[in-house]
């Protein structure tokens, strides 16, 4: 009766094959489905006389047509693609935030407009309309900085939130993967085939890989272990959940299994993209923008604190908040140095200049309180710290300022003649460094007569100029030295060796304290998001410092403020503010362009890989239809064979 067994085995084989084909066709559009094939083998052959004959067909198994290496490659590229896409999405949003190249928008135009307004003010320092223009351009620029700072900050917050949500999605997926691992194991331990479950699980792993780059390890009985960044997150049916959070330094990290620290960094996938955005890309852009804002604020303030507007000297001045314990803590630009305060007695017109030393570092550094005490010791001034702010008030009948103008009287005089002349000094010192100049008389006689002259030496004792005040000089005439200091000597007698001195101030604040304390500053804020025009300037444009000279008619401060536009600043690696900003924009553009290219390349690569995979694993309807026909015919043939056997048996039975 071997014949019937052979027939039955054929019917079974054909029937199973048709089932598998039906399953394939039903899942032709199922994502992640790998087509299956029945594996048929001839049954162990028997012997008939001397001849070996087969005993039918056996179903060896149903296999998935899958190329594991190809699948792994597709998964890895998919992970890269998701990371690039995530980064590209956010960077494109950043590029849109910057808004350059759109008509009439962008920080570039506002920076240029601000410095152009300063250039216009320098040409018209005494006119109100130009001061108002500076105020409005400054406010627009600050507003733009704040908007961009806030946008970047919001994007960073969104990235953190998105990263946390992605972490939750990862946890959900790994639970499902672990569950499927368990089910597959149960089936395959019992010699079963869990191809559909494997497909489902593998699809979940692909989804997981899009969220973060993972590594898989195949184990017995169909189990696949999954690890992420070296951390096992699925081991058989067991999972280790992850948490996404911020580290102490503000960067994004991952922790696993409720451990502290978020010390793990993830690569690849959306989470990898979000982490690189938060920890590097967005951080870098925000830092660059903050640097730009800080340098503009510092450079403008350093010039502005020393100048005066048309409103003149101050009777009262309040600054920004100061760190009570350390000057450097508030602003690292504060260093050892000196600042000078001029105090004017408005009744008598007498002007005195006082020097305040600032010890920013060293064994006993100054604090805001000690500086206030030093200022308070100046006759005519009262200084105190109120609500962490330096507050200076002039006594009635006094005013003060920080202008570096040359004092009208020498700082030291030693004349021995019987009727010495009066020396009047003026002008604005043009040197680079503060220096004391000594004017020593050579010769003896009356001003305007003989061979009388002045030898001018600097603080190092080097001769820098000689000035004729003898024959040929009309007493009282103004002589301008090469460094901007002007002197006028009235009629009188001088002896050889007589001298007078004056201080040439390139900067009336070499310590940076005034700017750090917010005294007569133009801007406030230490980042793009906090950059602001100080209220006193916004409310009183006459306070905009245009002059460095005593009579407030010059435009030196305004010229220097306008010149910041074209200055290479140390804090911006030698670039001008505009160049630095252009570099930021170009860098963002480069980042976006790079990722667009990489995205296209990876997308093309994935397309190629998927085409190759589809040749192996996808359901081809034409192929399945052909297989259908083959097994249909096989079934019909085997059925015919059995019918023939039946007829033979009936004939044999009829013969008995």
Partner 1 sequence: MSGSLTSIYSSISYALSLHGKSILQLQEQAASGNRVNRGSDSPSDAYRILGLNSQERSLQSYQENVKELIGNLEISSTIIGDMSTELASSLTLLTQIVGGVHDDAGQKRIADKLNNSLEQLVSLANTKHASQYLFGGNDTSIAPYVVQREGGKIVSVTYQGSYASRYVDVAPGLQIESYHVGDEVFRANYRQTPLFLGSSGVTAGTGTSTVQGDVWMTVEHDGTNYRISIDDGATFVTVPAEGSTNLAVTDSRTGRVLYVDTTGITGTGTELVRVPGTYNVFSTLISLRDLLQNERGLNTQELLNYVDECVAAVEEVRHLLVQKEVSTGSKIGFLSTLSKNLEDMEFDTKDETTRLQEADISQIAIDLSRREVLYQMSLSVAGKLMSMSLLDFIS
73-112: which residues touch partner 1 (CB under 8 A)? 92, 95-96, 98, 100-101, 108-109, 112
Residues 533-552 that bind partner 1 (CB under 8 A): 549, 551
Task: Rule CB under 8 A: choose which of 346, 370, 553, 647 binds partner 1.
Answer: 553
| DSSP-based three-state secondary structure for 71 | helix
In the complex, least distance from residue 231 CB atom to partner 1, rounded to whole angstroms: 33
**C-beta of 509 vs 554, nearer to partner 1:** 554
Give whichever of 106 and 149 is closer to partner 1, judged by the CB atom: 106
Among residues 312, 338, 589, 630, the one that binds partner 1 under rule CB under 8 A: 589
Which is nearer to partner 1, 122 or 403 (by Cβ)?
122
The rounded distance, in Å, linking the Cα atoms of 366 and 199 is 72
Q: Which of 89, 361, 607, 646 binds partner 1 (CB under 8 A)?
A: 607
Nearest to 571 by CA among 308, 280, 301, 277: 301
Query: Residues touching partner 1: how many (CB under 8 A)?
Result: 76
How many whole angstroms separate alpha carbon 382 and alpha carbon 372? 8
The closest of 9, 12, 6 to 53, measured between CA atoms, is 6
Helix (H) or strand (E) holding 210: helix 195-211
Closest CA to 617 of 31, 16, 17: 31
Helix, coil or strand: residue 341: strand
**Smallest separation (angstroms) from partner 1 to the CB of 617:** 9
Per the CB < 8 A criterion, the answer to whether 499 and 454 are in contact is no
Residues in region 617-646 near partner 1 by CB under 8 A: 618-623, 625-626, 629
Rg of the chain (C-alpha set): 44
Q: Closer to partner 1 at the Cβ: 108 or 193?
A: 108
The CB-of-283 to partner 1 minimum distance in angstroms stands at 19
Q: Could you say which of 287, 388, 614, 644 contacts partner 1 (CB under 8 A)?
A: 614
Among 246, 530, 610, 645, binds partner 1 (CB under 8 A): 610
Q: What share of the chain is helix, strand, coil (3-state, %, to 5)?
A: 45, 20, 30
| Complex with partner 1: residue 337 or 476, whichever CB lies closer | 476
Considering only residues 466-505, where is the footprint of partner 1 by CB under 8 A? 470-478, 490-491
Query: What is d(CA 90, CA 282) in angstroms, rounded to the nearest whole number?
Result: 9
Element containing residue 402 per DSSP (H, E): none
Tokens coding 111:
């920076």
For the CB of residue 471, give the shortest distance to partner 1 in the complex, in Å: 6
The yes or no reply on residue 210 touching partner 1 (CB under 8 A) is no
Residue with smaller CB distance to partner 1, 236 or 284: 284
Cβ partners under 8 Å of residue 50, min gap 6: none
Tokens representing 423 are 């020396």
User: Which listed residue (59, 62, 93, 113) binds partner 1 by CB under 8 A?
Assistant: 113
- Cα–Cα distances in angstroms (integers) from residue 70 to residues 61, 77, 208, 468, 480, in the given order: 23, 11, 17, 93, 84
Look at residues 237, 227, 242, 273 and name the one whose alpha carbon lies nearest to residue 170: 242
CB of 531 to partner 1, least distance (A): 20
* DSSP secondary structure of 344-364: EETTT--EEEEEEEE--SSSS
Of residues 390 through 449, those in contact with partner 1 by CB under 8 A are 427, 446, 448-449
Chosen residue from 227, 318, 593, 642 binding partner 1 by CB under 8 A = 593
DSSP-assigned letter for residue 280: I
Nearer to partner 1 (CB atom), residue 85 or residue 267: 85
78 exposure class (CB count in 10 Å sphere: 0-12, 13-18, 19+): buried
Site residues (CB under 8 A) for partner 1, limited to 146-165: none
> CA 485, CA 297: separation in Å to the nearest integer?
30
One residue of 64, 530, 583, 598 binding partner 1 per CB under 8 A: 583
Does 26 participate in binding partner 1 (rule CB under 8 A)?
A: no
| 269 vs 448 by CB, closer to partner 1 | 448
Which residues within the stretch 32-61 sit at the binding site for partner 1 (CB under 8 A)?
A: none
Q: Closest separation between CB of residue 33 and partner 1, Å?
A: 9
**Min dist. Cβ of residue 100 to partner 1 (A):** 6
Write the interaction track for partner 1 spanning residues 118-147; mark x where CB under 8 A is met and - where it is not: -xx-xxxxxx--------------------
Residue 23 near residue 195 (C-beta atoms within 8 A): no
Nearer to partner 1, 12 or 620 (CB): 620
125 closest CA partner among 561, 485, 420: 561
């Amino acid at each position: 009766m071997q014949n019937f067994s052979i027939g039955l085995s054929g019917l079974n084989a054909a029937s199973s094959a048709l089932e598998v084909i039906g399953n394939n066709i039903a899942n032709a559009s199922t994502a992640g489905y790998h087509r299956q094939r029945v594996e048929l083998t001839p049954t162990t052959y028997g012997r008939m006389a001397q001849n070996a004959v087969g005993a039918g067909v056996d179903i060896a198994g149903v296999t998935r047509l899958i190329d594991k290496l190809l699948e792994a490659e597709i998964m890895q590229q998919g992970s890269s693609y998701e990371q690039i896409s995530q980064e590209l999405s956010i960077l494109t949003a950043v590029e849109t935030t910057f808004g350059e190249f759109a008509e009439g928008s962008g920080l570039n135009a506002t920076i240029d407009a601000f410095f152009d307004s300063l250039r216009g003010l320098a040409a018209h320092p005494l006119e109100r309309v130009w001061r108002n223009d500076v105020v409005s351009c400054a406010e627009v620029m600050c507003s733009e900085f704040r908007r961009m700072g806030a946008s970047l900050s919001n994007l960073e917050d969104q990235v953190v939130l998105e990263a946390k949500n992605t972490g939750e999605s990862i946890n959900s997926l790994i639970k499902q993967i672990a569950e499927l691992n368990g089910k597959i194991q149960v089936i395959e331990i019992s010699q079963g085939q869990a191809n559909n479950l494997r497909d489902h699980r593998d699809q979940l792993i692909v989804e997981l890989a899009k969220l973060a780059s993972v590594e898989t390890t195949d184990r017995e009985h169909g189990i696949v272990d999954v690890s992420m960044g070296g951390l096992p997150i699925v081991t058989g049916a067991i999972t280790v959940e992850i948490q996404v959070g911020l580290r102490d330094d503000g960067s994004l990290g991952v922790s696993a299994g409720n451990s502290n620290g978020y010390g793990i960094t993830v690569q690849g996938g959306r989470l990898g993209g979000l982490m690189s955005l938060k920890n590097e890309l967005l951080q870098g852009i925000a830092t660059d923008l903050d640097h730009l804002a800080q340098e503009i604020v510092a450079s403008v303030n350093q010039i502005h604190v020393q100048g005066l507007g048309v409103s003149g000297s101050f009777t009262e001045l309040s600054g920004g908040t100061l760190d009570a314990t350390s000057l450097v803590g508030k602003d690292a630009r504060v260093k050892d140095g000196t600042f000078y305060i001029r105090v004017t007695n408005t009744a008598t017109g007498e002007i005195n200049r006082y020097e305040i030393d600032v010890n920013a570092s060293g064994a006993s550094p100054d604090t805001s309180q000690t500086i206030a005490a030093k200022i308070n010791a100046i006759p005519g001034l009262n200084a105190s710290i109120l609500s962490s702010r330096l507050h200076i008030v002039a006594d009635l009948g006094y005013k003060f300022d920080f202008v570096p103008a040359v004092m009208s009287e020498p700082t030291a005089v030693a004349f021995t003649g019987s009727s010495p002349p009066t020396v009047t000094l003026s002008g604005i010192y043009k040197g680079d460094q503060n220096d004391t100049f000594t004017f020593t008389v050579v010769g003896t006689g009356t001003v305007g007569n003989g061979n009388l002259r002045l030898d001018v030496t600097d603080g190092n004792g080097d001769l820098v100029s000689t000035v004729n005040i003898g024959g040929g000089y009309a007493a009282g005439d103004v002589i301008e030295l090469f460094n901007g200091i002007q002197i006028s000597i009235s009629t009188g007698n001088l002896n050889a060796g007589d001298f007078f001195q004056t201080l040439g101030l390139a900067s009336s604040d070499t310590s940076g304290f005034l700017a750090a304390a917010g005294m007569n500053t133009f801007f406030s804020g230490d980042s793009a998001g906090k950059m602001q025009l100080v209220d006193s300037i916004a409310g009183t444009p006459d306070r905009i410092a245009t002059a460095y000279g005593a009579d407030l008619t010059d435009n030196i401060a305004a010229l220097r403020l306008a010149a910041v536009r074209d200055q290479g600043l140390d804090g911006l690696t030698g670039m001008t503010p505009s160049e630095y900003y252009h570099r930021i924009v170009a860098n963002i553009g480069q980042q976006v362009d790079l990722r667009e290219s990489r995205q296209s390349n990876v997308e093309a690569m994935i397309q190629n890989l998927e085409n190759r995979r589809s040749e192996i694993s996808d359901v081809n309807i034409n192929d399945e239809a052909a297989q259908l026909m083959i097994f249909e015919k096989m079934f019909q043939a085997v059925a015919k064979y059995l019918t023939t056997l039946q007829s033979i048996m009936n004939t044999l039975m009829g013969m008995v």
